[in-house]
């Protein structure tokens, strides 16, 4: 594909539309992280916004809050990792197969 401004404009417009669609899909997606015991879960959306945290009462020990703190931290980190992977996968689906213009001196 040879470089021309109309092709570049169309490509940019299509990418903007795809990005807007992806941002909406990320906001609508819900991912759940959990600790290894599955006693604490954290739900986030694709924008890494925490939507909900659920805690099994059996891990609530008023004499030792550190266990609960660790489980919540683990669940939140797991949810954020899943959200990041989800976002990367969505981004990859947009950029995959994009024709890259042949601009002299510019390499992709």
Domain range annotation of the chain = 5-95
pLDDT at residue 23, rounded to an integer: 87
pLDDT at residue 108, rounded to an integer: 45
Task: Please state which CATH class domain 5-95 belongs to.
Answer: alpha beta
pLDDT at residue 11, rounded to an integer: 81
C-alpha Rg value of the chain to the nearest Å:
21
pLDDT at residue 101, rounded to an integer: 56
DSSP letters spanning the chain: -B--HHHHHHHHHHHHHHHHHHHHHHHH-EEEEE-TTSSEEEEEETT--EEEEEE-GGG--TT-HHHHHHHHHHHHHHHHHHHHHHHHHHHHHHHTTPPPPB-TT---
Per-residue pLDDT of the chain (108 residues; tens, 9 = 90+): 455 777 878 888 888 888 888 888 888 999 999 999 999 999 999 889 999 999 999 999 999 999 999 999 999 999 999 999 998 888 877 666 555 555 566 554
């Amino acid at each position: 594909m040879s470089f021309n401004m109309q092709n570049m404009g169309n490509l940019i417009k299509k990418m903007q539309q795809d990005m807007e669609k992806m941002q909406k899909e990320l906001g609508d997606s819900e991912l759940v992280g959990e600790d290894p015991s599955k006693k604490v879960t954290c739900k986030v959306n694709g924008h890494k916004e925490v939507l909900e945290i659920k805690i099994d009462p059996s891990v609530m020990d008023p004499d030792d809050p550190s266990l609960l703190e660790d489980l919540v931290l683990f669940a939140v980190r797991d949810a954020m990792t899943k959200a990041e992977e989800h976002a990367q996968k969505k981004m990859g689906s947009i950029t995959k197969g994009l024709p890259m213009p042949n601009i002299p001196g510019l390499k992709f």
